[in-house]
Amino acid sequence: MADPELAEIAVLEQFLPEALSEEAIAKVVIETIAKLGASGMKDMGKVMGVVSNELSGKADGKIISTLVKQQLIK
Domain assignments of the chain as residue spans, ordered by start: 20-73
* Reported confidence tier of residue 13, pLDDT bands at 50, 70, 90: confident
pLDDT score at 2: 83
- For residues 58 and 19, the answer to whether their CB atoms sit within 8 Å is yes
pLDDT score at 45: 96
Between 31 and 18, the more confident residue is 31
* Reported confidence tier of residue 12, pLDDT bands at 50, 70, 90: confident
Closest CA to 38 of 58, 17, 67, 15: 67
- Mean pLDDT rounded to a whole number for the chain: 93
pLDDT surpasses 80 at 17: no
- For residues 36 and 48, the answer to whether their CB atoms sit within 8 Å is no
3.40.50.1820, 1.10.10.410, 2.40.30.20, 3.90.1150.180: which CATH number matches 20-73? 1.10.10.410
